[in-house]
Amino acid sequence: MASGGARRPTSMAGALQATALFGSCVLLASLVIGELIQGLLVGSMAFLIWRYGVVRQVLCHHLRQGSILARAGRHEDALKAFGRSATVWEGRRGIDDLRGILLGSASRWPFRHLSRYNAAWCMARLGHTDQARAAVQALLVEAPTMTPALELLHSLDPSAAAAAALSADTRPADDWQDLLHDEPSLEPRDHSE
């Protein structure tokens, strides 16, 4: 299944939470400064520093690094980066589960799931089909409605994916939206080979 580019599935709840975080930054800055326009500027800057400087560059470093390496065709190195990312986010489950309001992320799935999905994708690209299949099946136990994981499982084992899809309430792929291009999620996405 070829893809025209990386999909960044978002959720409406996550988008609203991310917007609420932005609004909170603006409101707090306006209250501290005592002026709405300056509060808007300072709050916006604080949100951008938090979102792009801290969240994207620090907290999601390994996930982004893996995505960059995978796009460059360096799947072995990407697999290691995604493994580090999964380990980091397993230790930050509380933050990951509240990623919308705390991190300003509208991602539909937790970063720990995205890391595991991307690791399985790299395993498949490296020809480690059995390991990739096992990794995706383990992921689907925790995230049974993760459509990209179901699609990857289908490309690895059509009969297993059909059984998993029957047992899960899945959303169609066309339900996804490319709302936020800054999310370090689900990259790359080509299952065609």
Q: Where are the domains of the chain?
A: 60-170
Owner of token pair 């589960």: 97
CATH topology of domain 60-170: 1.25.40
- SS3 call for 107: strand
Instruction: Provide the residue type at 133 as one letter.
Output: R
Picking from 14, 10, 72, 22, the residue whose alpha carbon sits closest to that of residue 46 is 22
pLDDT in tens, the chain (193 residues): 333 334 457 778 878 888 899 999 999 999 999 999 999 999 999 999 999 999 999 999 999 999 999 999 999 999 999 999 999 999 999 999 999 899 988 888 999 999 999 999 999 999 999 999 999 999 999 999 899 999 999 998 766 555 555 555 444 333 333 322 334 444 444 544 4
Return the closest-CA partner of residue 109 out of 135, 75, 146, 59: 146
- State pTM to two decimals: 0.74
